Amino acid sequence: MLKQFQSSAAGALRNRHEEPMTAFHEFYQDDFRPRGHYLPMWEHIQITGQQMLGSKAHDAHLALHNEGVTFTVYSDADEGIERVWPFDILPRIIPAAEWRQIEAGIKQRIRALNLFLKDLYHGQRILKDGVIPPELIYRGKDFRREIMDIDPPHDIYTHISGVDLIRDEAGNYLVLEDNLRTPSGVSYMIENRIIERRILPEFFARYRVRRVEHYPELLLQALRHLSPRGEDSAVIVVLTPGIFNSAYFEHTFLAKEMGVELAEGRDLVCKNNRVYLKTTQGLRQVDVIYRRVDDDFLDPLVFRPDSMLGVAGVINAWRAGQVAIVNAPGAGIADDKAVYAYVPDIIRYYLGESPILASVPTYQMTNAQDLAYVLENMPTMVIKAVAESGGYGMLMGPSSTAVQRAEFARKIVENPRNYIAQPVVQISRHLCYLDGELESRHLDLRPFAIYGREIEVVPGGLTRVAMTKGSLVVNSSQGGGSKDTWVLADL
Amino acid sequence: MKYHLEHAFRIQFAAAVREHHVQIRLAPWNDESQSLLSLALQVEPIATPSAFYDGFGNLAHHFTVLGAHQMLEFSLIADVETHRENPFDFLSIAPERELEWIADSLRQAPRLWDFVLSHSALTPALPLQLGTAEIPRWRDGVPILQQVRDASDWIAEIAEFDATIDTSVAALPELFTAQRGTAADLAHLLIAVIRQWRIPARFASGYLDASYFDPDDEDPPNTPPRPQTLHHWVEVLIPGGGWRGFDPALRLLADATYLRVAVGRDARDTQMLRQTCKGNVEQPEFTQLLNVSLIQ
């Protein structure tokens, strides 16, 4: 049994030769020995053998299925709209010192981006000082003139952020994207942990793993903090577009865990700059809306008039300070992929500090030199539509066809502001237990930060795994899987 | 000049509706070119209107009628004093310094970029030529004011203002084909031309002196005045003069007989009425009555 396992692991290592050798391996050192923080787990696996992993993986899948932990993949029409959440039982482990750097970097970034948003929708000092080209903002799809000069409670725009991190070939953490609109995945982070604790209690006995399960509690505290009528009487709702949304599971999960109402647009009504929940006892004033509805659909009086998902008048209530909207409308311009390239400058401008976390080099297609370079080197580039997320509107150069590249080149030239390009980073890999074998797969990390009274980064996050061998696309909506993420406590 | 204006609306539904939300942009501006002396908004069934300034500086009002109703009436009553008797009354900048003045304005007020960069279906990026018509190009050394007036004249040659059209032709090149359009259509075309030159130009909606609706000389005797309606024109940032109004429909520069109500990138930003309601999917019957009268 043990022999069989070891040969599989060795096979997984040999398979490294089938892929570029440059990706950092989270689990193994260069001499193929497990890294120090993985040793206790490794030793345990060696003792129990591979069959144990197979049985645990089966149990995990069954538990996810029974508990209805699902995710919708729109292109998966043949399989119905929902899939059981794909989960790999081997956890990713982050030592305390590494986490301290991640945490500090994310807090710094969120502080700077909130100051940026406040400035952008008010005095626009950063544009006047020429730090960011105004054209970049005014051509941005998510820059919302409709909210100019509105003051959100406590000047917070991004109450919930999901910052996507990758590790480059040298193992350095880099920010890949800021998700500041309605980042999803947090429920899966918690479910992963619940399942992992149940399936692998013996692993937890060997580590001091920091909790993530208190996220709903932290979120609830932050939402209460925003209440215009005070924390004690805060009425909070989670506003969902409904059951057909890919993250509907998460909406119900968070509402349930926080003990607040899950509402659709039709359940709410505005009058005299206040928002009310329709209940069997009559109208009940709402103080905080954690909305999972995109800006475009949030208020038909202000944004898309044909939206049936939002609440007419909610922006006026927000402007009047009678309700808090989480995240604030208009926050999306700060995670526009073209603005992303300027985040280091934004940090220096508002905070006078050097960025703690580096960014991936980014080519602006509005820059003629960058454009020419990218068009010549498309096979080595990742090209992204600036306002898309979830892996949509993206070209992975190395795996693209000539036809796909020609199509993207045409789109870029037609609307250069809508695209950016980045060199392909061989993002780090980790061992995964897949179909009875130990295989290496690329992954990223989405830690979640909550901005209430202060910024708190939940120690952990959603580790997303590219389930297809060699693939660098980890997005859940593109068929990616996940791992539990263990942040170790200081000794 | 002092004006009294009353703008009344009636929205009649075929069956009762509820949760009726209304947002309007009808209140005249209050700035250096005109003073808003008084303003009242009446709504029936009774509702409590709230006011706010939008991102373009327009004064908007909104109100809600939650209960079932089949008809909604509201009217805006205001007194306004206009000051711009002579649209040329400003210290002009030498033509060779005008672009520098514009660049400096954009630096100091980045919000102006909206009126340079915005291209929509209503104000599209223009080709060099549309059909046989060559789009007016930027001419070095010619004052911006003169270039805008020339562009306005060019529009008058290719498409006529038709006050009887109540549906916008809007999109190019249909305007060229139809050779006629609403005031908004002509304004959009002028904006598109000026933005090609990277000069800030914005869409303006507002009221006109009642005399503009009097019968024309060629109309038969005793022809009654045409119903007054909201009008649309273009405002261009003129070096030394700030925002100045150009009306390609009437081929005039906006003076004290023009009362600005709303500005924006195009007509969608200045839309006078936005509403949503529940209970009836049929289009309601919509009537309005406008009366602008000179009181001094």
Kindly state whether residue B88 falls inside one of the protein's structural domains. no
Is the pLDDT at B280 greater than 60, yes or no? yes
The whole-angstrom distance between B157's CA and the closest CA on chain A is 32
Which chain B positions have a beta carbon within 8 Å of A302's beta carbon? 23
Question: Considering only residues 273 to 312 of chain A, which have any Cβ-Cβ distance to chain B shorter than 8 Å?
Answer: 273, 300-302, 305, 312
Which chain A positions have a beta carbon within 8 Å of B111's beta carbon? 124, 148
Kindly state whether residue B89 falls inside one of the protein's structural domains. no
Kindly state whether residue B23 falls inside one of the protein's structural domains. yes
Domain that holds residue A396: 361-423
The tally of domains found in chain A comes to: 1
- In this complex, is the C-beta atom of A118 within 8 Å of any C-beta atom belonging to chain B? no
Q: What is the pLDDT of residue A265?
A: 95
Judgement on whether residues B64 and B203 belong to the same structural domain of the protein = no
Q: What is the CATH number of the domain that holds B6?
A: 2.60.40.2250
Distance, CA of B87 to CA of B123 (rounded, Å): 25
- Token pair in block for residue A117: 């948003």
Walk across the sheet containing A274-279 and list its strands: A268-271, A274-279, A282-286
Q: What is the pLDDT of residue A5?
A: 36
Kindly state whether residue A414 falls inside one of the protein's structural domains. yes
**How many beta-carbon contacts under 8 Å exist across A and B?**
64
Q: What is the CATH number of the domain that holds B196?
A: 3.10.620.30
Judgement on whether residues B133 and B219 belong to the same structural domain of the protein = yes
Judgement on whether residues B173 and B205 belong to the same structural domain of the protein = yes
Q: Which of A456, A346, A443 is nearest to A104 (CA)?
A: A456
Q: How many CB atoms lie within 10 A of CB A230?
A: 10
Q: A375, A363 in Cβ contact below 8 A?
A: no
Phi, psi at B253, each rounded to 5°: -95, 140
Judgement on whether residues B65 and B165 belong to the same structural domain of the protein = no
Please work out, in degrees rounded to the nearest 5, the angle formed at the alpha carbon of residue A421 by the alpha carbons of A415 and A424.
Answer: 155
Q: Which of B56, B111, B276 sits opposite A301 (nearest CB)?
A: B276
Provide mean pLDDT across the span B133-148.
Answer: 93
Judgement on whether residues B255 and B193 belong to the same structural domain of the protein = yes
Judgement on whether residues B33 and B123 belong to the same structural domain of the protein = no
pLDDT above 70 coverage of chain A, percent: 93
- In this complex, is the C-beta atom of B62 within 8 Å of any C-beta atom belonging to chain A? yes
**A269 to chain B: closest CA residue:** B19
Q: What is the CATH number of the domain that holds A413?
A: 3.30.1490.270
Kindly state whether residue A448 falls inside one of the protein's structural domains. no
Print the SS3 string covering A52-94.
Answer: HHHHHHHHHHHHHHHCCCEEECCCCHHHCCEEECCEEEEEEEE
Judgement on whether residues B214 and B136 belong to the same structural domain of the protein = yes
Kindly state whether residue A385 falls inside one of the protein's structural domains. yes
Judgement on whether residues B252 and B110 belong to the same structural domain of the protein = yes
Phi, psi at A396, each rounded to 5°: -90, 105
pLDDT digits 0-9 by tens, A436-474: 888 999 999 999 999 999 999 999 999 999 988 888 888
- What DSSP string describes A92-118? EEE-HHHHHHHHHHHHHHHHHHHHHHH
Q: Which of A439, A412, A465, A344 is nearest to A19 (CA)?
A: A439
Distance, CA of A271 to CA of A274 (rounded, Å): 5
One-letter identity of residue B175: L
Q: Which of A271, A285, A315, A319 to mutate to test the interface with B (most CBs of B within 10 A)?
A: A271
ipTM of the complex: 0.92
Kindly state whether residue A380 falls inside one of the protein's structural domains. yes
Cβ separation of B52 and A145 shorter than 8 Å?
no
Judgement on whether residues B106 and B124 belong to the same structural domain of the protein = yes
To which H or E segment does residue B185 belong? helix B183-196
Kindly state whether residue A392 falls inside one of the protein's structural domains. yes
pLDDT digits 0-9 by tens, A163-203: 999 999 999 999 999 999 888 889 999 999 999 999 989 88
CB within 8 A of A414, min separation 6: which ones? none
Judgement on whether residues B49 and B113 belong to the same structural domain of the protein = no
pLDDT digits 0-9 by tens, B44-82: 999 999 999 999 999 999 999 999 999 999 999 999 999
Kindly state whether residue A240 falls inside one of the protein's structural domains. no
The tally of domains found in chain B comes to: 2
More confident residue, A463 or A249: A463
Judgement on whether residues B241 and B290 belong to the same structural domain of the protein = no
Cβ separation of A269 and B53 shorter than 8 Å?
no
Provide mean pLDDT across the span A255-282.
Answer: 96
Q: What's the whole-model pTM score?
A: 0.91
Distance, CA of B138 to CA of B130 (rounded, Å): 16
Q: What is the pLDDT of residue B28?
A: 97
The whole-angstrom distance between B193's CA and the closest CA on chain A is 19
Kindly state whether residue B151 falls inside one of the protein's structural domains. yes
- In this complex, is the C-beta atom of B51 within 8 Å of any C-beta atom belonging to chain A? no
Domain that holds residue B63: 2-82+272-294
Which chain A positions have a beta carbon within 8 Å of B55's beta carbon? 145-149
Judgement on whether residues B282 and B259 belong to the same structural domain of the protein = no
Measured between alpha carbons, how far is residue B236 from residues A410, B262, B283 in Å?
Answer: 34, 14, 36
